[in-house]
Structure 1
Amino acid sequence: MPIEKNDMKEGILETHDALVAEDKDSKELNLTDLAVMLWRARGLVAGITILAMVLTLTTAILTGKYKSEGFFQFGGAIPIMPVADKLAKEPPPGIALSNYKRYEAVYNSAEKYSDFYVQNKLAGDVSAESLLQKINSREGISNLIEPIFPFTKLDAKKLGMESNKDESNNVIGLRINYVATTPDMARSAVLLLGRYVMDAIIYQNYSDMLRFKDIEISTKITKLDNDIIEQNEKLEELVRKNRELKSIISRYPVSTEQGARQVVSVTEETARYLSPTAQLTTNEVEVAETKEKLIKIRRDKTQTVILGEYFGKTKDMLNGTKSGESVLRGLEPIKIATFKDKDLDNEVIKEVFNRITIENQTASSLYLQKSRFIAGPDLPQHRTTSLLIALLTGLALGFILAVGVVGGRLWWKNNSLKLQK
């Protein structure tokens, strides 16, 4: 007997409704079963959660880092100005930005740190070796050192300093940080970084200065030689003129009383006269002035020759070391060696000795004493990652993993027969 279309549609709808109801009942049943199974498997859930917490906490402890930070201050104007070149107005403290960019390029160099590492015999020092690996890595150490300025652009705007062209905003210090596996290592690395940066700056300063000192001093000595020759020629000319004037006066004694009759210069409107005696007096004054100039030039040459000897020895020392601190500490022995055969009772020589002494003491004070850490580096007490956060993270991950395991077992139990069919 044929089945009517309406009956077929009604049968299909009834079957669909029954399947939807069955699926709904199945879902409700699965959630209930999951809750029951979680309770029944609470030991497994607790075990998985505790295991995850232990693993997370252990990982945090083993891979935890400590961050140390310090503020390194520049104690004055860098580079230091020679005593002879100082003006009345002292330069502002710190490093001009243009100079700092040069120093930054130097101390960011892996080759420079390698020289510092070898020169100071740092092999075996854990912090030094860690820094060696860091500077040889792709990121380098640029992110560990931050320049500090007296004021930011916002500070300048608040203080109304936009139009003040004379205001200096030199780099007055560095904020140095380092992250390591132990607190002592982090602190030691920051200390070593501060020492290394200052060493690189000292070496660069003396390298720049001594690179041109030798040729400058040689040029100055040559110029002084020419000045001496020129003044000697002038002196000889004045002496000859002096003899001639004395001869004229001796031959014409009456001319000394005729000052108004000796022509000096004649113009369309007037004429000037000067007696031979007055000319002789003027000539003798010029002779005295020329002799005085010669004394000053010879004095300058004597001092310049001594400075050339001193800077020649410092240049040789610079070529034999890569450490700025070693160069700075070696200046005093070189000074002593330079003046050991000199007469220090001679004021000309003593002045050079004192000038070098002042410059060396000023440089030592600025670079090795005033430039230092004024804040930190601190010994960190806490890890960069909190153990409590790691513990809570492990708790959440462990519980989610446990629910996943129990839920997977429930799904397999409900669907294994269907999958077999």
Structure 2
Amino acid sequence: MQNTQPHAQPYDDEIDLRQLVAVLWRQKVMITAIGILGAAIGVGASISSTKHVAEGLFITPGVSASNYKRYESVFSNGARLQQYLQSTNQATTHDGALLVKLADEPNGLTNALKPEFAFTDRDSKAFGVKVEDAAGAMIGVRIQVAHTAPTGGTPVTLLAEYVRDSIIRVDMESTMLSQCNSFRTREQELRNAQIQNDFAIRQEESRLANLRDIIARNPEASSIDNRQIVSVERGTERFLSPAAQLVASEIQIGELKLAEVLRERDRIASGLKRDYYCQAQQALQQPTTGRAFLDGTQNIQAAAFQGQDKSIDVVEQTWNELDVERANWTNTYLQSMRFVASPEGTELKQRKPGLALGIVLGGMLGGMLGIMIALIRAWWRSGFEAANANNTKA
């Protein structure tokens, strides 16, 4: 018996490119139309993604890369921004509403406020900021606001005022609380030192009376040769002559009384500063802006010095020290904090993707979709025609 095997049927897996090109050529109108439609969709997507972006570099002296995190947690607080806008009566304005919407977005404020670091000495000179260590030094905050409609850059200015206010409040809350507690403790320390000083004076006065009594009872004690050599260490003063000990005791009492005068001056100054800083710390607990607080420190100072005689030198000196401190705050927070260049009028249009890229991508995707549709239509039509032919033969 012979095993007969059927002959393998040849399978044609080749693609006829001429036939494929012919199919595409017949459907060229549809492919072109879909490609144009895709390009139009790309243009629409590009136009709809248009953002009007305004930005500016806000210089913040005193804020370094090491302590920026302390301020960043306040910057990125959306509730804090809304509270600031309400306290300044700007929550209902166009710019205020835009910033409220920005605060409601996830990471909206974090993306709008970015630290800027100095990279060259030339940049530091251009920005007008002196930094000792230029490598990694922070020069300010890059503020950027994007919106679908033109804003003129004014929201950036308003956001910069919020940054200024946040820095002032963070610094002042820390400073006022620390100084209030410090001068409260200082007052108690001075009182304890004064008690100790009074006790030392009484001791020296008692010792002085004893020495005078010894000299009165022993007149020859004052005639002892004062040129004797005695090692004056702690506890050996008694080996000096009574007259020498009497003079030393009088000098000691004089020094103690002089220290008492200096301590009293320190007590008066500490009491005035304690009242000033503690009242300022209480004022910060009220809903107010940083700029308003700085303006109000002069009234707080006047209240703390009420009833004090400014003709007394220590009172005048303390007043002047607080005046100088306030002037430094004004220079740091209200004058040195500024934009390198005003953000108003610098708004730019940004599209993602760009108009040209949107046309190219849309046209390519539309063309590819058109080719696929044309091939599917040709395959479906050929299958339909083959089925009709078989039915006719049957």
Q: For this structure pair, what is the TM-score category when the shorter chain's length is used for normalisation?
A: 0.7 to 0.9
Task: Name stretches of at least 5 consecutive residues in structure 1 with no aligned partner.
Answer: 79-93, 153-165
TM-score, length basis structure 2: 0.78
Name the residue aligned to 1:283: 249
3-state SS of paired residue (1:95): coil
- The count of corresponding residues between Structure 1 and Structure 2 is 370
Using a 3 Å threshold, how does the CA distance of structure 1 residues 298 and 107 change in structure 2: closer, same or farther? Answer: same
Say whether the 8 Å CA contact 1:30–1:410 is kept in structure 2.
no
Using a 3 Å threshold, how does the CA distance of structure 1 residues 377 and 337 change in structure 2: closer, same or farther? Answer: same
Q: 1:58 aligns with which of 31, 44, 55?
A: 44
Letter in 1 for 2:355: L
Say whether the 8 Å CA contact 1:262–1:276 is kept in structure 2.
no
The within-5 A match list for 1:359-398 is 359-375=325-341, 377=343, 379-385=346-352, 386-398=354-366
Query: 1:173-223, CA deviations, whole angstroms, 9 ceiling, x for partnerless residues?
Result: 2333333223426x3443344332332222112222233333322221111
The within-5 A match list for 1:290-301 is 290-301=256-267
Distance 1:179 1:376 in 2: 16
Task: Name stretches of at least 5 consecutive residues in structure 2 with no aligned partner.
Answer: 121-132
3-state SS of paired residue (1:141): helix
Letter in 2 for 1:119: S
The within-5 A match list for 1:346-365 is 346-365=312-331
Instruction: Confirm whether residue 107 of structure 1 aligns to residue 93 of structure 2.
Output: no
Distance 2:173 2:198 in 1: 38
Using a 3 Å threshold, how does the CA distance of structure 1 residues 271 and 391 change in structure 2: closer, same or farther? Answer: closer
Name the residue aligned to 1:148: 116
Say whether the 8 Å CA contact 2:280–2:300 is kept in structure 1.
yes
Using a 3 Å threshold, how does the CA distance of structure 1 residues 61 and 214 change in structure 2: closer, same or farther? Answer: same
Deviates more, 1:325-334 or 1:350-359: 325-334
Using a 3 Å threshold, how does the CA distance of structure 1 residues 46 and 301 change in structure 2: closer, same or farther? Answer: same
Query: 1:113-136, CA deviations, whole angstroms, 9 ceiling, x for partnerless residues?
Result: 333233333313444444444444
Distance 1:271 1:312 in 2: 48
Distance 1:322 1:301 in 2: 32
The within-5 A match list for 1:80-91 is none
Distance 1:300 1:272 in 2: 35
Name the residue aligned to 1:418: 386
3-state SS of paired residue (2:340): strand
The within-5 A match list for 1:229-240 is 229-240=195-206
- Measured on the aligned residues, the alpha-carbon RMSD in Å equals 3.8
Q: 1:335 Cα shift? A: 1.6
Query: 1:139-173, CA deviations, whole angstroms, 9 ceiling, x for partnerless residues?
Result: 35334433334459xxxxxxxxxxxxx99854332
Q: 2:144 aligns with which of 173, 177, 180?
A: 177
Letter in 1 for 2:39: M
TM-score, length basis structure 1: 0.74
Distance 1:303 1:124 in 2: 46
Say whether the 8 Å CA contact 2:82–2:91 is kept in structure 1.
no
Larger relative contact order (C-alpha < 8 A, sep ≥ 6)? Answer: 2
Distance 1:266 1:53 in 2: 103
Using a 3 Å threshold, how does the CA distance of structure 1 residues 116 and 291 change in structure 2: closer, same or farther? Answer: same
Name the residue aligned to 1:317: 283
Q: 2:161 aligns with which of 177, 190, 195?
A: 195
3-state SS of paired residue (1:148): strand
Name the residue aligned to 1:83: none
Distance 2:312 2:65 in 1: 40
Using a 3 Å threshold, how does the CA distance of structure 1 residues 419 and 371 change in structure 2: closer, same or farther? Answer: farther
Distance 1:355 1:271 in 2: 44
Letter in 2 for 1:179: A
Name the residue aligned to 1:72: 58
Q: 1:251 Cα shift? A: 5.0
Letter in 2 for 1:207: E
Letter in 2 for 1:177: Q
Deviates more, 1:226-235 or 1:248-257: 248-257
Using a 3 Å threshold, how does the CA distance of structure 1 residues 62 and 271 change in structure 2: closer, same or farther? Answer: closer
Instruction: Confirm whether residue 35 of structure 1 aligns to residue 25 of structure 2.
Output: yes
3-state SS of paired residue (1:72): strand
Name the residue aligned to 1:95: 64
Q: 1:299 Cα shift? A: 0.8
Say whether the 8 Å CA contact 1:241–1:283 is kept in structure 2.
yes
The within-5 A match list for 1:2-17 is none
The within-5 A match list for 1:249-260 is 249-260=215-226
Name the residue aligned to 1:205: 171
Deviates more, 1:127-136 or 1:324-333: 127-136
Distance 2:176 2:268 in 1: 20
